[in-house]
Amino acid sequence: MIISHKYKFIFIRVRKTASSSMQVALSKFCGPLCIISKLDGMEEKVSGIKSKNNWCYMTSRKPVFYNHIPAFRIKEMIAHMNTNIWDDYFKFCFERNPWDKAISSFWWNRPKSKVTEREKLNEFIMHAMFPTFSDWRLYTDEQKEEVIVDKVFKYEEMDESFRYLEKRLNFPEKIVMPEKRYKGSVRKNYNHYREVLTKEENERIKKVFNKEIKEFGYEY
């Protein structure tokens, strides 16, 4: 997560959308007073970039701003800093095709049970905890369930989205993703999701991500 006072933007990190790498790429557009959530140790090691931090702590010493903090929580917290920031800054995030996101989430969280990969995938998608992999709440109002950021870009249109951001925010140079991506080596199979998912799994994903599918027009 980034709050850039220098270029007046707020970047919300959504899971499985290359958000770690995006945070590294966007961090170069931050000044000394900007707020950047802390990368974990391995992310810092791979990227070679340490978090720039003017982040706030509560008395418990836990960070107020963290990697996958929801937009509505950011809005609540910055109200204590400056009431105009939320309205004046450009707020954005990225979302991903739900079926592709589900498989990517599987590779990052796949069970360690002694069964085949095919059985592990089915277990993961059909499991009761699978709905927690929807990130709808990260960029919507918790009560009204309406999108509250200015723009939700599509992960599949990353290059075009970067060009838009460069122009919209008057960046002095292009957004360049780091060559090494911490989580990029985890996934072992990049077959298209239509070649991987069963009808039952497809329906399950459609049900879990129904709000994202309806809002952003994703199709199987």
Query: In CATH, what number is assigned to the domain containing residue 107?
Result: 3.40.50
Give me the pLDDT at residue 61, please.
55
The model's pLDDT over 116-129, given as tens digits with 9 standing for 90+, comes to 889 999 999 999 89
Average pLDDT, the chain: 87
The model's pLDDT over 60-99, given as tens digits with 9 standing for 90+, comes to 456 678 889 999 999 988 887 767 899 999 999 999 999 9
Task: Using DSSP bridges, classify how beta strands 35-36 and 151-154 pair: parallel, antiparallel or unpaired.
Answer: unpaired
Range of the domain at 158: 2-216
Mean pLDDT for the stretch of residues 162-183: 90
Q: Has this prediction a pTM greater than 0.85?
A: yes
Residue 186 pLDDT > 70, yes or no?
A: no
The number of distinct structural domains making up the chain is 1
> What count of other Cβ atoms lies within 10 Å of the Cβ of residue 86?
19
Residue 31 pLDDT > 60, yes or no?
A: yes
Residue 183 neighbours by CB under 8 Å, 6+ apart: 20, 108
Residue 143 neighbours by CB under 8 Å, 6+ apart: none
